[in-house]
Structure 1
Amino acid sequence: MIRVEGITAFVAVVESGSVSEAARRLRLSKSVVSERLAELERSLGGVLLHRTTRKLALTQDGAAFLLRATRIVQEIEEATAEMAVRRGTLSGPLRIAAPVTFGRMHLGPALYPFLAEHPEIQLVLDIDDRRVDVSSEGYDAVVRHGPIVDSRLVVWKLSRSRRILVASPAYLDRHGTPKTLADLDGHKGIFYTNRGVADWRFQTPDGAIVVRASQAVGMNNGDMIRDAAIAGLGIALLPAFIAGPAIGEGKLVAIDVGYRPEAEFIYMAHPEGRNPSAKLRAVAQHLRTTFGDPPYWDPAD
């Protein structure tokens, strides 16, 4: 007989890439996870994983079985969550990925009271600025700032995200304050490299206008972009949730060039074809309510 514990162990090993990491996620010993894998292979009559000292690789049988095994694990988790909802509680594992700066400044503080209210939820929050593959890396959802182009994801809007063109007072004293979009051409820009382009987009009555300033530095983290702007290295286009405190403290100055940057949003996205669990829907609604509309971090005009 095939045991559910073996299927769960197999999926966890594939998603995490190692027996030791799967054991950590499942809160089991490595020996227990290995035994469950071996028992599953004996029950199926085939080898699912090639094991070496350095890595694990799916066999053809393993790759074929993984699709159904993943669905089985998901269905069990969702059924368990639904039963918890019927009892008036939310429970079970939940794995979410989010960008570093937003996660540290706003997502974490928003989630802590929710988790205190629902102590049976076992949240794993992975903070990383890279673009994770939600489905293949085993996440229930990802929180992102900016556009999501992956057609395999179902996207929920959590909040608006206003962006502000900023520079330090010292930089503006040295180079002058731009008043128009054309003035930006003569300035140095600090750009977010994860977007893959070094430009700024603004809303005008005639549509979007793209401005490409000379790149002073490129970085893949919002905190560091803010700090580089404070250090006077150039002009940066930052979300209000990052730039707001520095503007309030006088470390950065908001620059008005006559037009606002294109609007962006904070999103939560989950894999297409997977029914979102009750606890994930509850988290999303809690975040919408906590962030507000307009969001609490937006500076007053």
Structure 2
Amino acid sequence: MLKLEGIASFVTVVEAGSISEAARRLNLSKSVVSDRLVELERGLGATLLRRTTRKLLLTDEGNAFLDRATRIMREVEEASTDVAERRGRLAGPLRISAPVTFGRMHLGPALYPFLAKHPELELTLDLDDRRVDAAADGYDAVVRHGPLEDSRLVAWQLAPSRRLLVASPAYLDHRGTPASPEQLRHHRGIFYLNRGAADWRLQGKDGTEIVRAPIALRVNNGDMMRDAAEAGLGIALLPTFIAGPSIRRGTLAVVDIGLQAIPESIYIAHPDGRRAPARLRAFAECVRAAIGSPPYWDANGASAPKTRPGEQ
């Protein structure tokens, strides 16, 4: 008789691309995952995976079994979720990817009381600024800032996001404060690496204007962009959820050239075709409530949530 744990291990190995990564996701040893695969293949009387020195390859039988095995695991997860919902509790694993700076500054304070209130939740929060593939990398959802670039995801907005051009007062005293796009082009820029070209895309009454400037730094982390701007390296376009505290302290000043950054969103997205479990919906509502409307970092200069996380 086939065991569910063997089917789960097989599906996870295929999704992860290796036994070692599957073992990490399942919080098991490699030997346990390997033993489960062997037992599953023995029960089916077929080889599902061919192991080479570099990778695992699905056999024809493995490929045929994978589709049904994936559906089985999805049905089991949904059934488990239904039972938990009927009992009025949140339980089970939840794997979320989020940006480093937003996660450290805002997700953590929102989630600690939430997790304390729901001790049967098993949250894995992977803070990484790279763009991950939610389904292929085994995430239930991703929290992201900016445009939604993957049509395979279903997104819920957590909050709108404003971005401002900022620089240190010392930098502006030394180089002068630009008051127009033309003047901005002569300043050194601190740019976010994953956004492609070294430019700022800004909006005015005449539409979008692209302003290019010499590069002082390109980096894929908001904390470092803020720190570089505070150190006087140049001008950065930063979301207020990062720059707000520095603006209030006076270590960064807003640069107004008569144009605004294109509006963006902070959102949580899950793979299309999957039912969002109650624990994921509760996670999103917890974060949304903690951020508030308007976001607490934009509301009257506040620096802490108006609605404390976990009070819903």
Q: Give the whole-Å Cα distance in 1 for the aligned partners of 2:67 and 2:196.
A: 32
1:36 CA displacement: 1.3
Aligned equivalent of 2:187: 187
Q: Give ranges in structure 2 of 5+ residues lacking alignment.
A: 302-312
Cα-Cα RMSD:
1.8
Superposition map of 1:49-88 within 5 A: 49-52=49-52, 54-88=54-88
How many Å separate the matches in 2 of 1:286 and 1:155? 16
- Tell me the equivalent position of 2:8: 8
Partner of 1:186, secondary structure, is coil
Mapped contact 1:77–1:92 kept (Cα < 8 A): no
Identical columns (%): 65
Counterparts of 1:49-128 in structure 2, within 5 Å, are 49-52=49-52, 54-128=54-128
Secondary structure, in 3 states, of the residue corresponding to 2:112?
helix
- Letter paired with 1:147: P
Partner of 1:216: 216
Q: Which residue of 1 aligns with 2:306?
A: none
What letter is aligned with 1:94? L
Q: CA deviation at 1:89?
A: 0.1
Q: Which sits farther off after the overlay, 147-156 or 74-83?
A: 74-83
Give yes or no for contact 1:228–1:234 (8 Å, CA) kept in 2. yes
Deviations 1:29-65 (A, max 9, x none): 4333222111111222322222245543333433443
Superimposed CA distance per residue, residues 219-278 of structure 1 (whole angstroms, 9 cap, x where no aligned partner) = 111111111111111100001111111112221111111232111110111111111111
The TM-score normalised by the length of structure 2 is 0.91
- 1:172-212 CA-partner distances (Å, limit 9, x unpaired): 11110011222211111110011112221222223222222
Gapped regions of structure 1 (runs ≥ 5): none
Checking the alignment, whether the CA contact within 8 Å between 2:204 and 2:258 is kept in structure 1 is no
Q: In 2, Cα distance between the equivalents of 1:191 and 1:60?
A: 47
In the alignment, the residues of structure 1 paired with residue 205 and residue 253 of structure 2 have an alpha-carbon distance, to the nearest angstrom, of 25
Measured in 2, the distance between the counterparts of 1:108 and 1:57 equals: 39
How many residues of Structure 1 are paired with residues of Structure 2 in the alignment?
A: 301
- In the TM superposition, 1:111-260 aligns within 5 A as 111-260=111-260
Q: After alignment, is 242-251 or 12-21 more displaced?
A: 12-21
Task: Write the letter of the residue equivalent to 1:79.
Answer: A
How far does the alpha carbon of each residue in 1:129-183 deviate from its partner, in whole angstroms, 9 at most, with x for none? 1100011111110000000111111111110111111001121111100112222
Farther off after superposition, 163-172 or 11-20: 11-20
Q: Comparing 233-242 with 76-85, which one deviates more in the overlay? A: 76-85
- Would the alpha carbon gap of residues 20 and 181 (structure 1) be closer, same or farther in structure 2, given more than 3 Å must change? same
| Letter of the structure 2 residue corresponding to residue 227 of structure 1 | D
Q: Deviations over 1:268-290 (max 9, x none)?
A: 11111111111111111111111
AA aligned opposite 2:191: F
Evaluate the alpha carbon distance shift between residue 190 and residue 63 of structure 1 in structure 2; reply closer, same or farther with a 3 A threshold: farther
d(CA) in 1 for partners of 2:192, 2:140? 26
